[in-house]
Structure 1
């Protein structure tokens, strides 16, 4: 079964798919140009080669998080919401 068969008959979800996410939620997108553009954007940023680009930034944020947890453990919930 192709992608268009699965998403073509998907109902239009105005509240969740258009208002709350401004039409940018891939899982709620109907087939068509918008779906193809969203899928391409997601694929571009989630493929293994792209993940290497984020490695230094992720390491830096992880170290900041650990230091925040060590320096202020009582605010542990706040630290997870950055």
Structure 2
């Protein structure tokens, strides 16, 4: 519990030392990433349901969510290739 408190205090102090425009850009990038991650899990859920009709299973887990959120369309192609060929 002490470690979490120290980490939070350190993060707040670090944010206080940073420039306000950098903080704004950092929070904007984080919010875009979290939106992409949420959309990736929604897409995985829909792919899992749609793939069930044709017999292809798409795993809905953290690794495939991050793969889809970070890579985008190439990650989508990689997931389809994994599902078809493995």
Q: Pick 1 or 2: higher relative contact order, CA cutoff 8 A, min separation 6.
A: 2
Verify same fold: TM over 0.5.
Answer: no
Q: TM-score, normalised by structure 1?
A: 0.36
Name the structure where helix makes up a greater proportion of residues: 2
Q: TM-score, normalised by structure 2?
A: 0.35
